[in-house]
Each structure stands twice: as C-alpha cells, then as structure tokens.
Amino acid sequence: MGESGNHRWLRLMMSYKGDDWIFFERAYLSYDGNTKEIIFDKYDDKKTENSGGGVWEWIDLTVTKDVESFLREFAKSKKAKMRLSGKYTKTRTLTYNERKGILDVLNGYDALEKGLK
C-alpha cells in the first residue's frame, strides 16, 4: 500500500526464492476453482537477483480494481494458491497467516479510503 497526498494505492508482490531459476513469464492466483492471471510486463515489472547460491524472481505491481476484487475473495478462501510459470513452474498454497495478512492490508486500505470522504 502506498500514499501520496490524498492518493492511495495497493501493490501486489509475487515472488519465488530457491536454488534454481524458474524463469517465470506468467503469474496466477487461484482459490476454490477460480483462477486469475496476473498480467505483467516481463521486461518492466519482473526483477531477478542471485547471491550465495540462491535465486530470486519477483514482480511488484499496482493493483487494479479487478485484481483488488479478486484478492478480497482469494484472501477469505480456505485454500488459496499462487503459481509462477515459465520454463519451470512453482505453485504453492498460502498459509492462513499470509491470507490474513492480505485481508489486514485490504481492511487498512478501506479504512484509509473512508477517512478521505
């Protein structure tokens, strides 16, 4: 979440950390049979790093209203997953605390937005 003057915005970061590159070019969030592709520019939005035998690949994006709406349901679900897919694929289930953290950020964002009105 960010703020500048009276303008606020949400950010979404999806990341992979491991021993081997996955070279992801697509990102997905899913819950209860609902899947949302997270659109990003692989040249402008994707970052990579390596150090000490580990690799990191991530995207950090401004959240659109469409993605925000999806995240609200995604975070409430019992089984929410993220997938990063490219040359190789990594899928993982988010923990309860990760889902709760998303809800906490969304609730904080809502509170800040209400404060503007």
Low-confidence ranges of the chain (pLDDT < 50): none
Annotation: CATH topology of 9-116: Immunoglobulin-like (2.60.40)
pLDDT at residue number 117: 53
Domain boundaries, the chain: 9-116
Of 39, 26, 105, the closest CA to residue 72 belongs to 105
The pTM score is: 0.89
pLDDT at residue number 104: 96
Which residues have CB under 8 Å from 27's CB, separation 6+? 14, 37, 38, 40, 59, 82, 83, 84, 85
Alpha-carbon gap, residue 42 to 40, rounded angstroms? 6
